[in-house]
Each structure stands twice: as C-alpha cells, then as structure tokens.
Structure 1
Amino acid sequence: MSGPRMTINGQVLPADSSFGVVNPATEGEFSRAPECSRKQLDAAMDAATRAVQLWRADDAARVAGLNAVADAVDEHASELADLLTAEQGKPLGAAHYEVSETTRWLRAAAALELPIETILDDGSARAELRRRPIGVVAAITPWNFPLLLAGWKLGPALRAGNTVVLKPSPYTPLATLRLGEIVNQVLPPGVINVVSGGDHLGAWMTSHPAVGKVSFTGSVATGKKVMASAADGLKRLTLELGGNDAAIVLDDANPEAIGRGLFWGGFINCGQICAGIKRIFVPEALHDDVVDVLAERARRVRVGPGTQEGVQMGPIQNHPQFERVRGLVAEALSDGASAAAGGAPLDGPGYFFPPTVLTGANEGMRIVDEEQFGPAIPVLTYRTLDEAVERANATPFGLSGSVWGSDLDRATEVAARLDTGTAFVNDHLALDPCLPFGGSKQSGLGVENGPWGLDEFTQLQVVHRPAA
C-alpha cells in the first residue's frame, strides 16, 4: 500500500505518518502517501534556501538542468501516466498526454531568455534593468492536472534561478512525489523539494519565513486564504483560481461545425478544468440544434475506468466534488431545468457522472452562477448579442471565454468584449507555453507562461551608474 516518498535536499524520505490515496474509479484506497511534519518542511525550506546561491549563479547550468529534467520525465512517462490514471482517474491516453505536455512546458521554459536591458544611456548616466531570482518558491498544485501544473510552476521558477518546495493536492500526491524522486537524479540537492500532506501543510508553506514567492493553483476560496497567509511576509504571489467561462454562440454559427470544439471545450478532463466552458449562451433560433448536437455527442461518450480501452471520460476525481456536481444538477432539475443528456450518476462503484447537457436553466440557479467543475453544462438562450455579452460578464470570475461563429472578424470583435484573461474564437482551451495565461477579477493574480510568466518569478533590479 506504500507509494512514492518525499524528496528533501535530494534525499528520498518517509514520514512518521501517512494518509490514504483513493482510486476514484473504485472508491477504494490503493496506496498511501507521507504526511509531512513541520520539522520535515523546515528541512525542505532550509535545503531550498541553501541551494539558491549555487543554482542562481550559472545560467547555462539552469538551462541544461531543466532540459535534463524534461528528458528524465520522458524516460519515466509510462510509469507517471499509470500513477496519474490510478489517482486522478483520467483515461490512460489523457494521462500520457499530460506527461508529454509537462515536458513541453519545461523545455519551453528552458528556452526563455533573461535579458539585461539598457533603459537609459544619455551620456551622463547608464541604467540597466536586470531580472534576479526571488529565492525560495512555494508551489502548490491542484488535483485536476497534477503534473502539468507542476511543470507550469517548476519551469519558470527554476529558469529564473529560484529553488522550489512543491506540494501536490492530497487527493493526487503520488505522480508528483514520484516526479520529485525522478528529477532529483539530475538536479543538485535542494533545488526541487517535494512534500505531501493536507491543507495544514499548505498553510505552513505559505506563511513560512523562508518563502519569497507563492505560486498557487486552486479554488478562489483557498486562493484568498493563501493571499492572507502570505501577507505577513509580503510574499510575491501568483494565483491561478477558478472560472465560470462562458461560450457565446453567434447567430451565424453552424452547430454541426462547432459541435466538437464546443463539447470538448467543456467536458474535457470530465469538466474538471478551471478554464473550461461552464455556460453556453445560444440565440433562441439555434437553441434546439445546438442542444441536439451536444446531447448526441454526450450520449456517445464512453465513460468508465481510465485503464479500460476506448474510455473517453473517467470519473470525477474525489467524493466531495462528485457530491457537489450531483447536488448542483439535482437542484437545477428540481428548479425546472431539463437534462437533454445525462442528469444522474452512473450505477456501481466509482465517482462516475455522465456528460450532462442541461436546458431551461437560468441565472439564479447555482449551476449557472457558480463554477461546477464537473461534467454538467447549462445551455441558455439569449435574444440580443449585447444581452449575451452582458450576461457572460456578469460574474465575479474572469478566466476565459469564447465566441463561436462563421464570421471570424465579427466573432473576434465580440470576444474582445469579454472581461476575461483569455478570449478564444471558435476554440476553447487552446493553451500554449508561449501564451500568457491568467484571469481577471477573482480568477487570479498574475500570469503564467511565456516571458510574462517568467517575469513573475523574478525581482526587477535597476543598476544605475555614471557614464564612462
């Protein structure tokens, strides 16, 4: 029942106590993970602090080290994918894809530059802008994409010259713990430390005096707690939080042509993705056609354990989230909505909920107003485009959104009106290492990816001197 162990200062360590890890396809505990003690966290922070000076000193070594990490992850891709499917539930093919995307993000970070910019040279003085590492980064990742989102944080943090103490979600600790064991075979001790434990461990990390930067991905509620915890030390923050992304279908859209992108923009990873489609706005004249296309796709999707061949959608990852989705759907149905597809959990063990397409839902229902983070999407009608944009923006969230239509120029103009960090046209979740990703309003602070995300892990320093 034991699984991978923590990695602190390059050493693989057990803990005095452990907690169970549940396979969401069976609802049974299949492994255990170490519960990091306060003393062990202090050791990890001390190791990261001592490793900073050596790691930040050699830019070429950092580039080589990051590429070596990517190579090591590639070499262990099958093992990591198996762990991901067992603990997270996603189909094995999707788990392999997550591993490969993790290495793609790491290599992209390795290729980024940290230029020294001349910002003043007027004959009397010269000023250069330099980017210096912050120090120790506390990185906390969620359970929907454990490895990929670890890569989003590790890549730029290490490229900038920082060291990292990484904590995965207690629901999905195993692949990340194994990642720590693997990468420490190619990195100096203390550069990456991986610990595991419950929410109390995250609170210890965000308030720890050794930490200069916190990078957190998770819910808005937890993000607010992270921000409050980090405030006492005025720690730098990147918060990638929740979303209630709207997709607006325009009156010139072809439902058959957009059906696949619209469907998987909301239901990929069993709907458990912060920047996925959570609400769909459709003109009244196209409502039935769009619903028919989505419902037909939903009924064809094969739902089951991620290890079974041909499965396209696994279970909801954990019991609390399963109960939340079930409750939101049941509440909507009791309040007058209808299920064009799905609508109730599947029989048998496992947190399986089929892709659910709801009609007749309206603002005021929680399935519309809140982030469901699961395989259930309401389709709402609108009469005017201005009304659709206004309703799409009427949310405290602002992560992503999308517009779907035949006239790309018109759709682009509408997309630019969305109050979101990213606005897609005829697509959703088209993420790439070169594109900055972040949210407006309560969907987060700061950005990730590309040179903008790299800058989040640096401290700007102006070096000013008289002219020669």
Structure 2
Amino acid sequence: MAGSTINTVQNIFQSMEYGPAATPSTATAQAWLDKHSRSLGLFFDGKFVRPADRQSRSLADSKGGHVCSTVCAVEADVSQAASSAVSGHKAWSGLSCYQRAKVLLRLVGVLGQHGQCLSELCELCEASCSPSALVRLLQYYSSWAQLRDTLIPNWTPLGVVAVVVSEDCSLYSLMLKVLPALAMGNSVVVVVPGQSSAPPALLLAQLFVGAGLPAGALNVLTGSDMSLGVKVAQNPSISFVTYSGNKQDGVTLCKATAGMGVPVSVSPNIGATCPFIIFESADIDSAVDAVIEAAFKKKREVHWVLCVQESVLDSVVARLRLRMAGMKCVALHSEGDRVLVDTAVQVAQQQGATLVQSCAAPTPGAQYPPTVLCGAAPSSPFVVSPSPGPLLPLMTFRSNTEAVTLGNHSPHGQAASIWTEDLTLALDTAKSLSVGSVWVNSHSVSDPCLPVSGHKDSGTCTDGGHEGLYQFLRLSSSSSPLPRSSPVSMDYSKFGTAASPAIIPDDSDPASAPMPYLQFVGGKPCKSVSGCSVAVQSPGGGSVLAYCPDGGRKDVRNAVEAAVKVQPGWMKKSPSARAQSLYSLTKGLEAKRRDIAASVSVQTGLSMDEADTEVELSIARLSDWAAYCDKNQGGTPPLPQSGSALSLPEALGVVGLVLPDENPLLSMVTLLGAAIASGNAVVMVPSQKYPLPALAFIQVLQASDLPAGLVNVITGSRDELTAALANHSVIKAIWYWGSAEGCQYLQYTCTSPLKILHLFCQKEDGGKDWTKSHPSLLEEMWRKAVQWKSVWIPTA
C-alpha cells in the first residue's frame, strides 16, 4: 500500500503494486547496430545491400536518442528484390518438404542463440515481440512445411508473396504472415514502410539466411510510406499481396492496387474497438486486474470498451479506483495526441460521464493518467472514434442479450474478452459475438494453431491454423483468376450507370410474343422496382427469347433486407437440417429437369441431350453440397498451454453472387450450394448473357423448403447490379465473374466497409471448367464461404 514502510502480504493484496523491475540492458542490440554503422540497408539476395544516393529515415528511441537509420527503397530496389525473390522461389520450392522443415526448425536454435539481441532490438525500436512467441511460430509452421504434401495434396505455392505492414504493426503480426508463406514453399518480399519493425525484420532476415534459407527466399524492403507497398504490388513477379496493420493504410493499398490483377488480402489488426464484458457471475477482482493490464499497461494495438452488468457496477468501479490509485501517467506519442485526449475527456464530461483517474491530469505535455469514462453511451464520440490515449469507456448492460448487442455495436470484429464463471453463458455469448477471437476469463492470448478471421470491418482473410495456410496456396489444376494488367482509366462514380437498351414495340403475333419473366425477392416472384424489362437475345442474337426484369439499386436493397432477416435463423439451424433443405432443393430440380433443360438449350444453343447432361451434373452438385453441410465443423486444436480452445467456422452473412456465363445452370448451383450450405444468405445476379436457366430455377426455389428470402435472384445490367452490391454496407462478400473493369471497380470500392472479394475476369474462350467435381474444388469453395472464430477457455 502506498505510504507503508513494510510490505506485508495484506498490503500487497490491497495495493496490487508490482515489484521493482530491473533496468533492461541493450548492449547486444547496440553492438549489432554499431556493426552496421547504425545505418541499415535493404536485404535481398541473402545479404544487406545499401544502394548509393538513397534517402534515409532516422529512428529514435523513447527518450529521443538515435537508434539507427533505414533506407527508403526506390523503383530500382523493388525490381532487384522481386528478381531476387523469383530466384529464391526456384531454390526454396525445389527443396523437399522435409528439407524446408529442417531449415525452419534450425531457426529455432538460431533464435535461442540470438534471442537476446532480437529482444533488445525490439525494445529499442518499441516493437515488442517475445522471442519465445517467434519460436512457437517456427515450431508450428515447420511442422506444416513437413506435412504440406501429405495433408494438403493437390495444392501448390503461389510463387512470390509480398507481405506489407504499416508503421505501427507488431513484429509478431508480420511473422504470422511471413512464416506460413515460407512454410508452403513461397518466397517472400517483406515491405516495411515504417521504422519500428524495420530493424527487427532485417535482423530476422539475416538470421534466416544464416540458418540455411536460400538467398532470395526472404527479402526486406524499407521505406517511408505505403507507396512502397504499391510499387511492389505493381511488379509482375508478385503473385499475392497480404497486408497487416492499421485500416487507413490497408485501404490506401487496396485502392492503389485496384486493376493490377494481383489479389490483396487485408488484416487491419491495429486500432479496432473490442468489448471487455464483465458479467455478474465473474470473478470481479480477476476481471478488474485484467482490464487494467489490457487497457493501460500493455502496448495498445486495440481500443477496449468495458461493458459491465449493472448489478456489479458499483463493485467494479470501487475496485477500479483501488487498483488505479497511484498509477503513473502513460506516455503519448506527441503533443497532438494530448490535445485529442483532452478533447475526448471534455466531450465525455459534457455528455454526463464521470472520471476515474489514477492521478490528476498534468499540465499540457505528451502524457496522461489512466482514465475510465463511466457512463458512456454506445453512440458517444469517444466510443465510436476512440482517441489514442489511455482512456477506457465504461458502459452498462442488464441482460445477456444486451451484452451481445453492445459487443456487436462496433463496426470492427477483431476480438472480445468475456468474464464469467458460468461456462454455458460464456459459450453462448462467444458464439453470438461477431468477432474473430473470444477470450473467456483471459485476454490478448494467441497461438498459431488457431485460425482467426477478421469479422465485419476487421479483415478479409484468415490467419493462423490449418485454414490460414490456404491464402498462400492455389489448386494445382487452376490458374490465376485475374490476369496481370495495368489499371484501366475509369470514372468510378459512373460505373454501372449506362442506360439499358430500350424495348421497342412491334407488330408480332401476341401468341408468339416472348415470355416475360419475374425476379425472386423475399421468397416471392416480383417485377423490378423500376417496372422496366430487358430483352434476352437468342444465342445468335437474331431474335428475342424472353423479357426479364431490369433490376437496380432498390431491388438489391429489398433483397438484402429480406436476406438479413432470415440469415441468422438459417445459420443457427443444425447442419443436418440445412442438408435436408438442400436435398429438397435437389429433388425439386429433378422434378423440373425437363423444363430446366429446355431453358438451358434455348438460351445457350446446346442440344437437349447436352442440356440434360448439365442438369444431371447440377443435381449431383447440389447433392454434394447437401452432404457437405455437416462434414466440416471446426475442432479443438491442442494448445501448448493449459486450457482448451474451439475453432469454429461461421457463415459470412449475406453474399452477393455475380454469376458467370459458362455453364449457366451448373455454375449457379455450384456457387449457390457452397454459400447456403455454409449458412449464408444469397443475392444472385444471373449471367446477363444467359439469364433464363436462373429464372427457370426460381420455380425450384419456390417449391423448396428454403426460408423465404434466403435466396434472391435479381436480373438486369451486370455492371449496375455489381455497383449496387459493392455499395451496400451489409453485404460481406462478393463473388464476381465479369469484366476487368468490374474487377477493378470492386477492388477500389469495397474498402469501407471491407468486403471479401473473389474475382474472376471472364475470358471469351471460356474460363473455369465447372463440370469437374474434385474434392479439392469443393473444399476451396467451402473455405471461401466461411470465416473462422477461435474461443479460448483457460483452466488455470
């Protein structure tokens, strides 16, 4: 207790003071920096390179002292690094799985030998990362390198992978991308625009090569801003770009690379708002200690919001006051941050919030005391847009349902911490929260064996676990869905605004007039909101086969509203119940097979026998998806520490499908089956060229027992409907087959909120062979239709 002369056990428990910490030494890291003259170059071809006439940036420590300088790479350096990576990929991928695993395992020993240097360098650069955490990463991914061909057959590495991070990204987040990419046989170009992670990344690259990694398999480029990542993505040797860091830089990268033909995945793991939920059944003392550690004593990569059940509010606040008493002020990055913190506190007090502070706020300066803002509302500015300082908003709830609502209020879906001794309540809450990681009676723990997806606006890919490996692999039988190209000059505001061709009345016999079709929204056939129609041409383009509705933005809005209402209930259905619904859809297709085959034949020009074959394949494909419903349901991966964990696949939500022209029926049921078998709802845009099979399929949907609104079919201009899907905030993913301009538009537009994109540029000579039914193809599509959640349950 403060002021006591004797530290008794009782005093220690009352004050919860930490013991004195030894002053850390940085002698080893300083010696390594001195060896490089405190001027670090770039790293490629297995060695440090310092090109002449390059700008450099100076890195200072927390006390303002000079640590080192890093080079700002230019276009020529990017070309050299990419060339080095191509050579490195040939050498690295040419090794056997055992040989690659042996190199990664050798790194464990190297890190043990030089872990002190790495730890000290991270401390100097304020990029804290425990060497033991990196050792765990190496051990985990070296085993996957060993077992890749055994447990992941029919998949091959992408080639050269660019790993881009923001300035505030941790070294652990960087290596969580680098190591699985290497383990799968890719070479890597690491792009570190910032300074804090650059020196440790360069040291690790040196250690990797020293452990036997072929020259060029790992390259590091440093720079001054995100433009360096864009330059790397432009290089034709790059097969895939994956980003980790803050949302702003991720959006910049996505927009700048739109139209280049390179897939980009984003993990914005910095700055998200995460709920810390304390139920009345929690161990309050442990929960309060944990929230103080998470919010005030660890480096804050996320913003926590404390949610407390009303019945224990007074108890929690009293313990917060006790634990926070005497805590020192937290250093801010700049005087500008202090202004933001002061403004947030003033706004909070004006809105009725009360403060719990460790001490009085000092005179203006780059520091501020830990502060709890009691009485916050979900819409408060300091909750919606948190300031960078040590502020912890506190909100209250009454019921479990209200706790979940508060937890899901944030646009982010990165993580949540739940505190309760009731395991049933914990698991029920964990499953209801739209986040990638849930910690029960713990916080901020991680292990690479668990897959984590960014839910909502917190990412477009899965990292960790078996599932996280697939972003660095492609099916051996498939090629890149997007050809490398230069972006098209286009006005994004005008995409999809072209008027549909007008329908001119003629004097033909009404008895032979083309048949009008309806679209399908909310379980009912209906006209488009505009009331207009478009003509469906025969294969040769000489005559009009039918008229279909000319759907638009309002039709998409209505379809999404219907899908949102039904999707949660569909997702909560048991896998066997979803399977039965898909089997009923299969039976309905079989009952209508002659009518559907006729629509395929008339639309595409195929013979009736060929059309019937496509219907037969479609029936078999739907049966495959019905059987697939309950075959992949996650698991309980073993942890290297006490406790248990769950790995859960979850539906994405509402998925937009812009369907291909090839095999219009078979491709439609393949994509539709993948989406709804996983628990998603769907808004489908049939092929603009061949829409009749999808419109005829509406009869099958009507006769099935699928919930009304689960599947919606909207016809019309592909570009206009694509733009409507892209600009709807509720749609989580878009699977698109279309033009290069459409792919570029989606890459540029689907950044706020982030959408998961699977883009395919259709070719005139045909594209994907939909008639193949390989297990890996089904697995690939199923993985596109789910996102992963990890739930941690400690036992000690």
Alignment partner, residue 220 of structure 2: 194
Aligned pairs (5 A) from 1:311-326: 315-316=331-332, 324-325=340-341
Q: Does 1:37 align with 2:74?
A: yes
Summarize deviations over 1:23-56 as a string: whole Å, max 9, x none: 2x22454421111121111100111012112211
Task: Give the distance between the partners of 1:157 and 1:396, measured in 2 at CA.
Answer: 29
Partners of 1:273 and 1:373 within 8 A in 2: no
> Is residue 388 of structure 2 the alignment partner of residue 356 of structure 1?
no
Partner of 1:75: 113
CA distance in 2, matches of 1:405, 1:143: 36
Map residues 286-297 of structure 1 onto 2, 5 A cutoff: 286-297=312-323
Larger Rg: 2
5 Å-filtered alignment, 1:166-245, equals 166-172=190-196, 173-186=198-211, 187-199=213-225, 200-242=227-269, 243-245=272-274
State the partner residue of 2:454.
439
- C-alpha deviation, 1:103, in angstroms: 2.2
Aligned to 2:311: 285
Q: Does 1:103 align with 2:135?
A: yes
Note closer, same or farther for the CA distance 1:147–1:337 as it changes in structure 2 (3 Å cut).
same
Letter in 1 for 2:301: I
Q: Is the CA contact 1:253–1:405 (under 8 Å) kept in the aligned structure 2?
A: yes
Q: Residue 464 of structure 2: which of 449, 455, 460 is its match? A: 449
> In the TM superposition, what are the counterparts of 1:275-424 in structure 2 within 5 Å?
278-299=304-325, 301=327, 315-316=331-332, 324-325=340-341, 327-342=343-358, 351-372=366-387, 375-424=390-439
Q: Which deviates the most, 190-199 or 98-107? A: 98-107
Tell me: CA distance 1:82–1:101, structure 2 relative to 1, closer, same or farther (3 Å). same
Give the total of aligned pairs: 435
Question: What are structure 2's unaligned runs of at least 5 residues?
Answer: 1-36, 479-771, 775-796
Structure 1 residue identity aligned to 2:355: A
Q: So what's the TM-score if we normalise by structure 2?
A: 0.51
Indicate if the aligned counterparts of 1:209 and 1:233 stay in contact, CA closer than 8 A: no
1:428 offset after TM fit, Å?
1.9
CA distance in 2 between counterparts of 1:333 and 1:73 reads 49
Aligned equivalents of 2:409, 2:180: Cα separation in 1:
33
* CA distance in 2: counterparts of 1:220 and 1:255, whole angstroms: 34
Partner SS, residue 174 of structure 2: helix
Q: Distance in 1 between matches of 2:231 and 2:112?
A: 32
Q: Which residue of 1 aligns with 2:546?
A: none
Q: Any idea what SS the aligned residue of 1:170 has?
A: coil
For residue 357 of structure 1, report the CA deviation from its aligned partner: 2.0
Secondary structure of 2:412's partner? coil
Task: Quote the offset at 1:323 in angstroms.
Answer: 6.0
Return the letter of the residue paired with 2:273. Answer: N
Q: Does 1:26 align with 2:63?
A: yes
Q: Which amino acid aligns with 2:139?
A: R
TM-score, normalised relative to structure 1: 0.84
State the distance in 1 between where 2:404 and 2:141 align: 35
Whether the 8 Å CA contact 2:166–2:249 is kept in 1: the answer is: no
Task: Please show how residues 236-255 of structure 1 align to structure 2 within 5 Å.
Answer: 236-242=263-269, 243-255=272-284
Corresponding residue of 2:122: 84
Residues 137, 211 of structure 1: 8 Å contact kept: yes
* Alpha-carbon spacing, 1:343–1:233, altered in 2? closer, same or farther (3 Å): farther
Match of 1:307 in 2: none
Aligned partners of 1:259 and 1:290 also within 8 Å: yes
| Contact 1:295-1:357 at 8 Å conserved across structures | no
**Does residue 265 in structure 1 map to residue 294 in structure 2?**
yes
1:372 to partner: Cα distance:
4.6
In the alignment, structure 1 residue 11 sits paired with structure 2 residue 47: yes
Kindly state the Cα deviation for residue 361 of structure 1 after the two structures are TM-superposed.
2.0
Partner of 2:87: 50
Cα displacement (A) at 1:334: 5.0
Q: Is the contact made by 1:6 and 1:180 (CA closer than 8 Å) also made in structure 2? A: no
Residue 456 of structure 1 aligns to a residue whose secondary structure is helix
Cα deviations by residue, 1:347-397 (Å, 9 ceiling, x for unpaired): 798x54443322122223232113556532111112333222112212211
Shift of 1:327: 4.9
List runs of 5+ in structure 1 lacking aligned partners: 118-127, 304-313
Deviations 1:308-327 (A, max 9, x none): xxxxxx74567776665565
Q: Which stretch of structure 1 is more off in the superposition, 288-297 or 416-425? A: 288-297
Q: Aligned to 1:450, what secondary structure does the other structure show? A: coil
Corresponding residue to 2:159 among 110, 129, 135: 135
SS of the residue corresponding to residue 195 of structure 1 reads: strand
Q: CA deviation at 1:143?
A: 4.6
Report deviation, 1:214.
1.4
Contact kept? 1:144, 1:317, Cα under 8 Å: no
Q: CA separation of 1:161/1:22 partners in 2, compared to 1, >3 Å: closer, same or farther?
A: same
How far apart, CA to CA, are the structure 2 residues paired with 1:440 and 1:233? 26
Q: CA RMSD in A?
A: 2.9
- CA deviation string 1:196-226 (max 9, x = no partner): 1122212222333221111211122222222
Range moving further from structure 2, 53-62 or 294-303: 294-303
Q: 1:114 to 1:30 in 2, by over 3 A?
A: closer
How far did 1:457 drift?
Answer: 0.9
What CA distance in whole angstroms lies between the structure 2 residues aligned with 1:114 and 1:346?
Answer: 56
Closer, same or farther: CA 320–183 of 1 in aligned 2, 3 Å: farther
Q: CA deviation at 1:145?
A: 5.5
Question: Aligned partners of 1:19 and 1:41: how far apart in 2?
Answer: 18
Report deviation, 1:169: 4.5
Q: Which residue of 1 aligns with 2:148?
A: 114
1:334, 1:2 → 2: CA distance?
A: 49
Work out whether residues 306 and 394 of structure 2, in 8 Å CA contact, stay in contact via their aligned partners in 1. yes
Deviation at 1:13, TM superposition (A): 1.3
Query: Which structure is higher in RCO with an 8 Å CA cutoff and minimum separation 6?
Result: 1
Q: AA paired with 1:75?
A: Q
**Counterpart amino acid of residue 242 in structure 2:** S
Classify 1:409/1:63 alpha carbon distance in 2 versus 1 (closer, same or farther; 3 Å). Answer: same
- Opposite residue 256 of structure 2, the aligned amino acid is S
Q: Tell me the amino acid that sits aligned with residue 151 of structure 1.
A: M
Return the letter of the residue paired with 1:369.
V
Tell me how far apart the structure 1 counterparts of residues 154 and 389 of structure 2 sit (CA, whole Å): 43
Work out whether residues 98 and 147 of structure 1, in 8 Å CA contact, stay in contact via their aligned partners in 2.
Answer: no
In the aligned structure 2, how far is the partner of 1:382 from the partner of 1:219?
30
Which 10-residue stretch deviates more, 196-205 or 317-326?
317-326
Aligned-partner SS, 1:253: coil
Q: CA deviation at 1:340?
A: 0.6
Three-state SS of the structure 1 residue aligned to 2:444 is: coil
SS in 2 for 1:377: strand
Identity of aligned residues (%): 24
**Contact kept? 1:152, 1:449, Cα under 8 Å:** yes
- What is the CA-CA distance between 1:138 and the residue it aligns to? 1.0
* Corresponding position: 1:146 with 2:170: yes
Once the two structures are superposed, what CA deviation does each residue of 1:31-86 show, in whole Å capped at 9, x if it has no partner?
21111121111100111012112211222221122222333233222222222122
Give yes or no for contact 1:140–1:217 (8 Å, CA) kept in 2: yes
Contact 1:403–1:426, Cα closer than 8 Å, also in 2 = yes
SS of structure 2 residue aligned to 1:252 = coil
Distance 1:3 1:438, change over 3 A: farther
Secondary structure of 1:140's aligned partner: strand
